[in-house]
Amino acid sequence: MPSKKVDQLTERQKTVLEGIVQGKSFYVIGCDLGISEAGVRDHMDRIYKRIGVNNRTAAAVAYLKHLNPGMKTRAIGM
């Protein structure tokens, strides 16, 4: 389960992921953290691998589930 793997992220990776949850672009996250957009992409690639997801939406959902263990998700429009 990806949400349980969020504990394995570094503090920097969690900070990057918080930016994604807030809807920020890689560029804006990079500006906020003083790193390049490519640096943010590198962090996200490592986050995807570490928590077992393959896109920013799944990473954000995993992070939110980690923060709110009882949170339920469902597909919208299905």
The count of structural domains within the chain is 1
Q: How confident is the model over 56-78, as pLDDT tens digits?
A: 999 999 899 888 777 666 655 43
Kind and range of the H or E element at 57?
helix 56-67
The verdict on pTM exceeding 0.75 is yes
Give the burial string for 17-55 (b: 16+ CB within 10 Å, else e): bebbeeebebeebbeeeebeeebbeebbeebbebbebee
Q: Which residue matches tokens 């996200």? A: 44
What are the tokens at 75?
């597909």
Kind and range of the H or E element at 39?
helix 37-51
Q: How confident is the model over 3-53, as pLDDT tens digits?
A: 568 888 999 999 999 999 999 999 999 999 999 999 999 999 999 999 999
CATH number at residue 28: 1.10.10.10
74 within a domain of the structure (yes/no): no
Find the domain containing 60 and state its range. 2-67
